[in-house]
Amino acid sequence: MAHALNRHLALVGFMGAGKSTLGPQVAERLGRPFIDLDRDLEQDLGTTIPEFFEQHGEKEFRLQEEGHAIAALRLPDPAVIVLGGGAVQTQSIRNELRDRAFTVLLEVDPDTAWQRSAGGDRPLARDESEFHALYERRRELYDAVADAHVYDVDDMLLAAAGVHVHTGALESLGSLLLGDGDVALVTDPHVGGIYGAAAQVALGSRLASVHEVPQGEAAKTAAVAERLWSELRLDRDGLIVALGGGSTTDLTGFVAATYLRGVSWIAVPTTVVGQVDAAIGGKTAIDLPQGKNLAGAFHWPARAVVDPAVLATLPEDERREGMAEVVKTGLLAGEPLWELPLPELVRRCAAFKAAICLRDPHEQGDRVILNLGHTFAHALEAAADYEAVTHGQAVGLGLLAALRLSGRATDVVGEVLAPERVRVDRERAWAALRRDKKARGGELRLVLLGDNGPVVEVRPEHEVRSALDELIAE
C-alpha cells in the first residue's frame, strides 16, 4: 500500500516505542477515531493484560487479541489503530493489515525500548536479555508488515499521505515505484536538463517514454493535456511520473486523472512551492481562458517523492515564491517553520499540508484554512491580470491583511517576505475579492488566526475593504 487515504492507519512497533502516546496525536491531526487495541482489550477482558497473561497464558491472550484486532480493522471508517507489540505474530492479523490498512512501524532502538518498558508490569519486559532476543525475533515480522518506517508524528502524517521526504530521494525513485506496468516521465526542458538523466537512471527498465511540456504556467493548458493524452501509450496499470514545479505536477496529475479514466501517478516536485504545497493533497488542474485552475480533478498521487537537494538549483525568485507558502504554513501551525534549515523546513511544512488534506481530501471543510491570506492574494492577482504581481508576492500581502484583521503582529511577514504594495486598480481588486467564492450575502468569510489556531470568520465589508486597500500602492 502506498498511503492511508480511505484506509486505516495502523501503528505497530515494539513495546516502549511510544505508540500509545503518538497514536492519539496522529488521530487528532487526521480527524480520525483513535483505537488503542490493548486498552480496549483490557476493558473487554475486565482485567489488565499482565493479569490476563498471569492467569491464562500468552496463547489465550493472542486469541483474544486476534478477535479484537480483526474486528477493529474491519470497521468501515478509516481510523488510527494502535496494535499491541506482539500482535504481528498472528498471521491472520498480518493478513488483515495487508488488506485493510496502511501500516507504519514506529521505530525504537532496543535500549530505549528497554529503558521505557522495564520495571513496569509488562510481562515480556522482565529480563533484559530475553527482551533483546524478543526484539530481534519480532524485527523481521515488523519489517514484513510495515508499509513505512517512522520516528515521529510528522513522519507518520507524511507516510500516511504517501509523501517521502529525504535528501537523495530522486536517486531512489526506482524503489518507490508501484505495480509493474510501464512508466511515462513528464518534465519541462529546464528541469529535465538538470535532473532528467538522474530520474531516467532511477526509473531504469520500467521507463517506457519521456514527455516534454512547457516551463511554468504555460504547461497548464488543454492543448498540452491533449498532446499528452495522445502521446501516452500506457495500460491501466501504467504509471506517470511528474518531475518539476507545481505547473508540471498540476498538469500531469490532471492528465493521470483523466487518461483511461485514471492511472496512478507519482509527483516528484522540484520547487519549494511544489514540495510544501502543490504536489501534496491530490488537487490537479489546468487553466482555461476564463481563469486559472478551472478544469481539474482530485486525484491523489500514489506517492510524492520529495528531494530537498534538488532545490539547490532553484532560482532565488522561485525560492521566494515558496517561502510565502512556508510562512503561511508556519502561521497556521503556530510555529516559526520558516526558520528551519531547508530539508527540515520542507519536511515539517509538507507534513502539515499532508495532514490537512488527509482530513479533508475533497475540500469540503477543514482544508479551507489553507486559504489563509489567499482571498486577498487572488483579488490582487486578478486585478493585476496575473502579470504585475506573482502569486508569492500576492500571498505575502494577503498574509499581512489576514494578520492585521486577526489583531496580530505582522513583523514576520515583513522580515521573511518583505512584500511590497502593488499598483493595481482598487475597484477591480475589490470587485474580484467580492466575487471570490467565499462571499456570502453582504458578508465576507475569511480565514483568520484565532487564539487557538485558524478560524473562519465573517467580517463586515468595510473592514475587509480597508484591509485590501492597505495592500495597494498609491
Residues 6+ apart with CB under 8 A from 7: 1, 78, 100, 101, 102
Within positions 303 to 362, which residues make up the interface with ligand NAD, using CB under 6 A? Answer: 310-311, 313-314, 318, 321
Q: In terms of CB distance, is 241 or 278 closer to ligand NAD?
A: 278
CB 238 → ligand NAD: shortest distance, Å?
22
CB 271 → ligand NAD: shortest distance, Å?
3
**Which H or E run includes 163?**
strand 163-165
The single-letter code of the amino acid at 167 is T
CB 6 → ligand NAD: shortest distance, Å?
19
The single-letter code of the amino acid at 401 is A
381 sits near ligand NAD (criterion: CB under 6 A): no
CB 259 → ligand NAD: shortest distance, Å?
18
Q: What is the DSSP string of 392-425?
A: HHHHHHHHHHHHHHTT---HHHHHHH-PPPB---
CB 315 → ligand NAD: shortest distance, Å?
6
Under 8 Å between Cβ of 183 and 256:
no
Residues 6+ apart with CB under 8 A from 24: 34, 36, 80
Q: How far apart are CA 268 and CA 279, in angstroms?
A: 8
196 sits near ligand NAD (criterion: CB under 6 A): no
Q: In terms of CB distance, is 65 or 318 closer to ligand NAD?
A: 318
CB 345 → ligand NAD: shortest distance, Å?
16
246 sits near ligand NAD (criterion: CB under 6 A): yes
Q: In terms of CB distance, is 194 or 439 closer to ligand NAD?
A: 194
Under 8 Å between Cβ of 202 and 170:
yes
CA distances from 238 to 4, 138, 297 (A): 21, 36, 19
241 sits near ligand NAD (criterion: CB under 6 A): no
Within positions 250 to 309, which residues make up the interface with ligand NAD, using CB under 6 A? Answer: 250, 270-271, 273-274, 277-278, 281, 283, 293
Name the segment binding ligand NAD (CB under 6 A); options: 48-56, 127-135, 245-253, 463-471: 245-253
Q: In terms of CB distance, is 179 or 216 closer to ligand NAD?
A: 216
Torsion-angle region of 281 (φ positive above 0: left; ψ -120 to 50: alpha; else: beta): left
CB 243 → ligand NAD: shortest distance, Å?
9
Q: In terms of CB distance, is 10 or 279 closer to ligand NAD?
A: 279
CB 340 → ligand NAD: shortest distance, Å?
19
Closest CA to 301 of 3, 70, 12, 25: 3
Q: Which of 220, 348, 367, 438 binds ligand NAD (CB under 6 A)?
A: 220
Name the segment binding ligand NAD (CB under 6 A); options: 87-95, 213-221, 332-340, 421-429: 213-221
Q: How far apart are CA 122 and CA 244, in angstroms?
A: 50
Name the segment binding ligand NAD (CB under 6 A); options: 21-29, 37-45, 175-183, 184-192: 184-192
215 sits near ligand NAD (criterion: CB under 6 A): yes
Burial of 304 (0-12, 13-18, 19+ CB in 10 A): buried
Alpha-carbon dihedral sign for residues 13, 162, 330, 456: negative
Q: What is the DSSP string of 193-262?
A: IIIIHHHHHHHGGGEEEEEE--SGGGG-SHHHHHHHHHH----TT-EEEEEESHHHHHHHHHHHHHGGG-
Q: In terms of CB distance, is 395 or 464 closer to ligand NAD?
A: 395
Q: In terms of CB distance, is 220 or 438 closer to ligand NAD?
A: 220
Q: In terms of CB distance, is 196 or 246 closer to ligand NAD?
A: 246
Q: Which of 186, 191, 416, 472 binds ligand NAD (CB under 6 A)?
A: 191
Q: How far apart are CA 135 and CA 229, in angstroms?
A: 51
Supply the DSSP symbol for 84: P
Under 8 Å between Cβ of 156 and 4:
no
Quick count: other Cβ atoms within 10 Å of Cβ 42?
16
Q: In terms of CB distance, is 199 or 471 closer to ligand NAD?
A: 199
Q: Which of 94, 166, 190, 359 binds ligand NAD (CB under 6 A)?
A: 190
Q: In terms of CB distance, is 148 or 311 closer to ligand NAD?
A: 311
Q: How far apart are CA 204 and CA 174, in angstroms?
A: 7
244 sits near ligand NAD (criterion: CB under 6 A): yes
162 sits near ligand NAD (criterion: CB under 6 A): no
Residues that bind ligand NAD (CB under 6 A): 188, 190-191, 194, 215-217, 220, 244-248, 250, 270-271, 273-274, 277-278, 281, 283, 293, 310-311, 313-314, 318, 321
